[in-house]
Chains A and B, each alone.
Chain A
Amino acid sequence: MSTTRARIGVVAGALAAGFCIVVLHLWYVMVHQHEAWAQRSRENRWAFRSVPSQRGMLLDRHGRVLAHDEPAMQLSVYYLRFRLRHPVGAAVHGATRWAALQPDRGSARYGYADGALGPMAAAEHLLAMPARVLKRGVVEKEVAADLAFEVTTVLSACSGLTRRRVYSALREAASAPGLVACGDVLPMPRDELLAAFAATLASLRRFDAELVALQRERLATRALPTAEVEGLMARLDDLRRRSLAGQRVTWTEDVTDANGATTTVERTGSLVEEVTRVLDDHVPFEFAARLRVGAARHPGLEVHPSIRRVVVPPFGSALAVLLGSVREIDRARPNDEWFHRYVERELPADWVAELPAGAGSDVEADAGVLQQQVVERYVDAVRQWERRGTAGLEWTFDDTLMGRLGMRLVERDASRREQALWTHLGVEAGDDVRVTVDADLQAIAERRVAAVQQQIAASHVAEADRGHVQAALAVIDAGTGDVLAYAGAPVDSSAPRNLPGVWWKGNGSLGSVVKPLVLVEQLRREALAVEHRPIATFDPCAGKYVFGHQSLGCLHAHGDQGRDPVDAIAVSCNSFFFQCAEGFGAEGVAQALRRFGLCRPAGDADPFAACWQPSVAGVPIATPRLSTAQAVPMRAVGYGVEASPLSVARAYAALATGSLPTLGLRADARRPVVALGDVHAELEVVRAGLRACVDTGTARDVTLLRHFGVFGKTGTAEVGRDEQNNAWFAGYLPGPGGDGVQLCFCAVVYWVPHGVHGDEAAGRLVADWLAEVEAEPTLAARYLAAGVGR
């Protein structure tokens, strides 16, 4: 007995040992490793749900909407579902799988394109497959299971019967004697099933055709090539190939090791077929709604709500380009610093510290851990859901326009259903931004610029020259520096950088439009008796001027007009300004330009440092530049001086008001104005010259300018060969209009034929634009002073 007891004791001991092992293991997992498992438990159930924000609107100076957000629908394909649940996908993959089991057809790969290996042939082939193939032991179990699933999908979709019923029929037929084809296991003839399949396929193809048409139409409105639109079927075919190849998503990541060395590592992710692929970001509601109704017929094609940015000005207009573009952040790829700034601004540091009391002690204890994760998750969500401006005003005012991504922290169950809300960060729409542009003035400017560009292009004899013609018109408020209109033609890119007149700085010569600025310097130096050559000592204009060993030309022999400042401006006498430059030298010319912000200051001590505005927020203008390659007298007549029309318009605004405004595009922003100082007397002389230029001088042929009382100056810079002239006209209206805005403008036409001068090209552009403004009563009341005009 004692032996038996001992044996039972051994059994008890063995069981006790087992108990000890599991208890120790449980202690290790539950106590020792508790934190790690608790973290995994949290990762299982804690979820951040994001709500994308709406961007603020861009409005013109009178409140008209220029760009706004609009709800849209995103169309995507989830290929795994498509190939398993859509009859067409299931037929293609099922038939390929079945063919692979047949020795004579092993290489056949069915696809979505029409033909002998198209979807219809796939369905016929699959439905002709004997049901016995699905019987246990006939083919490999996994292959049989996949085939059964695919055949069930096709039969169920084509017969309208439930999957369970179809599967039962297949099982029954698989076990039955004889070779019953899968297409014959249901009480419906195979022909009818194939007809139903053909109808589904036709519906899918119709959908494809409509989608392609939609995308082509959208590209056509943007003047982009439409030939490269990839339709749904082509995308499906690509995904089919990747699915069959078991291809996975790959990406590269920079990994920094302990020594700080960074290496690029290729990572592999989910199967391509398991990743949702976007087909179209913005399909119209009607299109998406139809797909939702027919979702049962097209499983795998999904529509989700999205937001799209609608730009009101027509695509291809300069204003649309100036407004810029918006992209999803994951595509815009901002740097870490951007994210850091965004998170710091939008995500309260103690957000998850506000968990409700009812969340439990465990949750409160976890809050610290959660806080560590929150920034990372928020950045991920921002990357996935938010959009940012990538160009133009959308980029410049992005901080204001961009809203705050909403996020809630929830507990979710295994089916991803939300079970508890712990805390949330309310979504906030971005603020609207009112810009200085007047949409009507802009529209007229764009029309006129395009017209003059066409007209000048047509006047070229050589076809090659026509393509080079570009034109631009900048209009600002002389008092505030508000940019009212900025048009360029042709618009050959969606980037403001490539908009003529914006980034383009000409071909190195402003021409005679700088003469008034030089005259101010000359007169000022006379008044202060600083280094100069007095005008009284100037030689009369003989049509040329000898400077050192160089002979410099003037258009005409102006005689004594070349000794009178007003006449010199009016007739644009080069000799006068050569002598000015000879008198005060290179530094004098530079100072003349610095006073009006057209040359970089010599340093912080430069008295005109405050006049320098190298950039304008929202418009990537070319920084004005003075080239020293040109002889000093030539600089005084505009050669070697580079600036965009906006900068020239700013300089003329100073001539009009005596103060140099700061250019800007934000309507509600106050910007500094730099007084030119005690130069009133000098400015009066210059203004007289500008008026004389329009009345009797180089711009006299453009009679409309006189009617508007324009003060202005033409400029024609001949650079390179004859056909590469710049035609300029800069000026301003005599006073403010009803809105208190004094229009100041600068127009340029580049690559004008020989013999065409600033007045004929650029002066006429301004005149025609003013005429159209006058023709619009509202605009006339706003911008033209009473009594001004015809």
Chain B
Amino acid sequence: MTAGEGLPTSRLAVLRRVDGWVVLCVAALALCGLAFIGSATRDDPQFGTQQARQALFLACGAGVGFFALLPHYVHVVRGAWLFYGAVVLALLGLPFFAPVINGSQRWYALPGFSIQPSEFAKLGVVLALAALLRFKSRARTFDGLIVPMLVAAVPALLILRQPDLGSSLVFGPILLAMCYAAGAPARSVLAVVAIGAVGLVLAYLTVLHDYQRERVSVWLQHWTWDEADLTQTAVRDVLRDAGYQPWQALIALGGGGLWGHGLGNGPQNRYDFLPYRSEDYVFAVVGEEIGWVGCLVVLGLVAALVSGLLAIAMRTRERFGRLCCVGVATWIGGQTLCHVAVCGWLAPATGLPMPLLSYGGSSTLAALLGIALCLNVGARREPILAGDGFR
């Protein structure tokens, strides 16, 4: 059955209005991801199939995205809370049903693949916040932001307990950006920032595991190291232990130089020095193999994608769609920035995939679904007659 035969023409007509630049950026990033996942896992007996699996995830994501484009996104509003509730439930069930992998419970193991609810939780929070904040009145007072804060905090805390510090931190920028875009006064946003900061300190003192605290501590220390310190036994011990991953990532990036070693030729990547290089440190592989110029190109693609999504938001008068675009753009942009910052040790090691570039089915599917939603928003040109938002 072809699309034209099986689906009403009016539904397919939306495809003609899809933002081609965004699609192009997504396709380019996805191909980059495939190339670097291939480079990172080449000849690896354990992870050698990741490139093919990622291609499959991308194909699935493209398929799901295609179908997500077809219905008017107004229907998504109705399902937003349902999606959010399902995600929260899935997060709640992890301690009971998820196996312990590398000391954390993040994935539901299914035959042949596994699902990471925290990736879908980002989309769930974007949808739920957009559904909440589409009413202008809610964002105007600080009280009105309490519920959105709770909406973001619940999955963030559940994810923090897995433990997955990196993913839980992504909710902060999403919340802030969406609240601000929804019209929250600057002082309310600052108050949210302050509450978030206090929450982070409390989390550091109470919720974080020893190894996470150690990563933060090593990150703080490393700014004070000079060449002489690197020869000290204590520092070398740290670099072999808690500081190993970010240090090796820095070596990979720094060793890449302006032009890099060439695809598949990065020694840090090729010789296994770089851990989790198809996932949490894929950008370090990018830096090592195609250099600073290549990094600029990849980050340019992400920036173009984020700009495209924000441009859709600007073009859209309808608040739910607009906020969804802001949320997804912040999610992808913020998570990318976090990932790159971790690779360059600008931020403590947290273990966060880079959207579309890192290996991961849930991450890829969630990102593509979010982008498809934004494309859906952008493709609808109907004027919203009922005022600013659904009432």
**A residues touching B (Cβ–Cβ < 8 Å)?**
1, 3-5, 7-12, 14-16, 18-19, 21-23, 25-27, 29-31, 33-34, 36-38, 40-41, 44-45, 141-142, 248, 268-270, 360, 362, 411-415, 419
Which residues in A have their C-beta under 8 angstroms from that of B322? 4, 8
Q: Is the CB of A26 within 8 A of B287?
A: yes
Q: Is the CB of B272 within 8 A of A414?
A: yes
Q: Does B146 contact A (CB under 8 A)?
A: no
Q: Is the CB of B233 within 8 A of A411?
A: no
Q: Is the CB of A29 within 8 A of B333?
A: no
On whether A15 and B251 interact (CB within 8 A), knowing A1-B317, A30-B257, A414-B272, the answer reads: no
Name the one of B258, B265, B313, B317 contacting A31, with C-beta atoms under 8 angstroms.
Answer: B258
Chain B residue with minimal CB distance to A37?
B254
Q: Is the CB of B341 within 8 A of A22?
A: yes
A22 to B183, CA, bound (A): 28
A19 to B270, CA, bound (A): 28
A419 to B43, CA, bound (A): 13
Interface 1/0s, chain B 162-185, versus A by CB < 8 A? 000000000000000100110100
Which residues in B have their C-beta under 8 angstroms from that of A15? 303, 306, 310, 329-330, 333-334, 337
Which residues in A have their C-beta under 8 angstroms from that of B346? 21-22, 25
A40 to B248, CA, bound (A): 9
Q: Is the CB of B255 within 8 A of A37?
A: yes
A41 to B260, CA, bound (A): 13
A652 to B287, CA, bound (A): 82
Q: Is the CB of A22 within 8 A of B340?
A: yes
Q: Is the CB of B307 within 8 A of A12?
A: yes
Q: Does B355 contact A (CB under 8 A)?
A: no
Q: Is the CB of A23 within 8 A of B257?
A: no
Which residues in B have their C-beta under 8 angstroms from that of A41? 251-252, 254-255, 267-268
Which residues in A have their C-beta under 8 angstroms from that of B183? 3-4, 7
Q: Is the CB of B306 within 8 A of A30?
A: no
A33 to B181, CA, bound (A): 39
Chain A: minimal CB distance from B142 (Å): 17
Q: Of residues 345 to 359 in B, which have CB atoms within 8 Å of A's CB atoms?
A: 346
Q: Is the CB of A33 within 8 A of B254?
A: yes
Q: Is the CB of A269 within 8 A of B233?
A: yes
Chain B: minimal CB distance from A730 (Å): 63
A203 to B330, CA, bound (A): 65
On whether A415 and B272 interact (CB within 8 A), knowing A26-B344, A34-B257, A34-B258, the answer reads: yes
Q: Is the CB of B257 within 8 A of A413?
A: no
Interface 1/0s, chain B 53-85, versus A by CB < 8 A? 000000000000000000000000000000000
Q: Is the CB of B254 within 8 A of A11?
A: no
Chain B: minimal CB distance from A409 (Å): 14
Which residues in B have their C-beta under 8 angstroms from that of A22? 299, 337, 340-341, 344, 346
Q: Is the CB of B258 within 8 A of A30?
A: yes
Interface of A is mostly: helix
A381 to B222, CA, bound (A): 32
On whether A11 and B310 interact (CB within 8 A), knowing A25-B344, A37-B253, the answer reads: yes
Interface of B is mostly: helix
Which residues in B have their C-beta under 8 angstroms from that of A14? 177
Q: Does B123 contact A (CB under 8 A)?
A: no
Name the one of A40, A270, A362, A415 contacting B261, with C-beta atoms under 8 angstroms.
Answer: A362
Count of interface residues, chain B, beta-carbon cutoff 8 Å: 50
Name the one of A8, A9, A10, A45 contacting B273, with C-beta atoms under 8 angstroms.
Answer: A45
Q: Is the CB of B177 within 8 A of A26?
A: no
Which residues in A have their C-beta under 8 angstroms from that of B181? 4, 7-8, 11
Name the one of B177, B271, B310 contacting A412, with C-beta atoms under 8 angstroms.
Answer: B271
Q: Is the CB of B254 within 8 A of A23?
A: no
Chain A: minimal CB distance from B181 (Å): 5
The 9 A-B pairs with the shortest beta carbon distances in the complex, nearest first, are A37-B254, A41-B255, A413-B271, A414-B272, A30-B292, A34-B257, A15-B333, A18-B337, A22-B340
Which residues in A have their C-beta under 8 angstroms from that of B303? 15-16, 19
A419 to B272, CA, bound (A): 11
Q: Is the CB of B272 within 8 A of A26?
A: no
Q: Could you write out 13 A-B pairs with CB less than 8 Å apart?
A: A1-B317, A7-B181, A9-B314, A12-B329, A15-B329, A21-B346, A25-B346, A26-B292, A29-B250, A31-B258, A33-B254, A38-B257, A40-B254
Which residues in B have their C-beta under 8 angstroms from that of A142? 210
On whether A40 and B255 interact (CB within 8 A), knowing A5-B314, A11-B310, A19-B337, the answer reads: yes
A547 to B326, CA, bound (A): 124
On whether A38 and B254 interact (CB within 8 A), knowing A1-B317, A4-B322, A21-B346, the answer reads: yes
Chain A: minimal CB distance from B148 (Å): 15
Chain A residue with minimal CB distance to B347?
A22
Chain A: minimal CB distance from B248 (Å): 8
Q: Does B124 contact A (CB under 8 A)?
A: no
Q: Is the CB of A29 within 8 A of B271?
A: no
Q: Is the CB of A10 within 8 A of B180?
A: yes
Which residues in B have their C-beta under 8 angstroms from that of A21? 346
Name the one of B233, B265, B295 contacting A30, with C-beta atoms under 8 angstroms.
Answer: B295
A141 to B209, CA, bound (A): 10
Q: Is the CB of A19 within 8 A of B299?
A: yes
Chain B residue with minimal CB distance to A271?
B237
A4 to B315, CA, bound (A): 11
Interface 1/0s, chain B 81-108, versus A by CB < 8 A? 0000000000000000000000000000
Which residues in A have their C-beta under 8 angstroms from that of B251? 37, 40-41, 44
Q: Does B370 contact A (CB under 8 A)?
A: no
Q: Is the CB of A12 within 8 A of B258?
A: no
On whether A11 and B233 interact (CB within 8 A), knowing A18-B333, A411-B267, the answer reads: no
Name the one of A268, A413, A414 contacting B233, with C-beta atoms under 8 angstroms.
Answer: A268
Chain A residue with minimal CB distance to B180?
A7
Which residues in B have their C-beta under 8 angstroms from that of A33? 254
Q: Of residues 235 to 282 in B, which have CB atoms within 8 Å of A's CB atoms?
A: 248, 250-258, 261, 265, 267-268, 270-273
Q: Is the CB of A44 within 8 A of B326?
A: no
Which residues in B have their C-beta under 8 angstroms from that of A11? 177, 180-181, 310, 326, 329-330
Of residues A14, A15, A25, A268, which shows the largest number of chain B Cβ atoms within 10 Å of its Cβ?
A: A15
A26 to B291, CA, bound (A): 10
Chain A: minimal CB distance from B313 (Å): 5
Q: Is the CB of B180 within 8 A of A36?
A: no
A37 to B246, CA, bound (A): 13
Q: Does B296 contact A (CB under 8 A)?
A: yes
Chain A: minimal CB distance from B157 (Å): 19
Chain A residue with minimal CB distance to B307?
A12
Chain B residue with minimal CB distance to A362?
B261
Which residues in B have their C-beta under 8 angstroms from that of A12? 306-307, 310, 329
Chain B: minimal CB distance from A269 (Å): 6
